[in-house]
Amino acid sequence: MGYTRRKIRRINFSFFLAGFIFAGWALFCVWHGWPRFRAGSTVGFCVFGAAALFFTAFPAIWARYPEKHPVNHELLRYGKLPQIAERLDREMQGQVDVLRPFRFTATLLVYDSGQEFQMIPYDQIVSAEVEKAADDDVPVLVVQTRGGRRYQWYRSWMQRRFDAEKVLARIRTAAHLDEAPVKPQ
């Protein structure tokens, strides 16, 4: 099984797991009542039950419309789905440098924080920089693409901790952003 299928299954599993947890809380509300007033168990059951249905609906929708899945949607930005998925799978089997949550393949930058997936071919990257609003702010890694897309990654517990300067240097090297542009003659 390739990287793309594993990533799709992990995201689907995380949504089913969230739905299962909310369903468990809904059942807890029915049995024990929450909070401790008369209609609390009904309200708790309805809120947690709705959240459970919300999270389990996404994998069902993605099964019916696979192009809407976050992984497939990201892959479709750069070409036909089977070709780009095969390219990603092939490159992830080869030499991959990892600076968690970033993966650097031969021609692709892959951001894989567990619950999130983003992919950018190096030839599409126009600029990469680290932005800081103030001294105490968390640095933000910003990448711009030829198509005008702007990717921002924060060093946080949700998006994983990473050394922004080290990742920036690796992106700039892989995308050849430090090289002087060649002028046509």
Instruction: Identify the CATH number of the domain in which residue 160 sits.
Output: 2.30.29.30
Express each pLDDT in 90-126 by its tens digit. Answer: 999 988 888 888 899 989 999 888 778 899 999 899 9
Residue 57 domain flag: yes
Q: Indicate if the pLDDT at residue 35 is higher than 70.
A: no
Full residue range of the structural domain in which residue 54 is found: 3-70
Q: Is residue 180 part of a domain?
A: no
For 40-83, the pLDDT digits (tens) are: 678 888 999 999 999 999 999 999 999 999 999 999 998 899 99
The percent of residues above 70 in pLDDT, for the chain, comes to: 87
Q: pLDDT at position 19, please? A: 96
Residue 104 and residue 164 in one domain: yes
Percent of the chain beyond pLDDT 90? 43
- Long-range contacts of range 127-132, CB-CB < 8 Å, 24 or more positions apart? 127/177, 128/168, 128/171, 128/172, 128/175, 128/177, 129/168, 130/164, 130/165, 130/168
Tokens linked to 140: 């933000």
Tally of structural domains, the chain: 2
Helix and strand numbers, DSSP H then E, in the chain? 5, 7
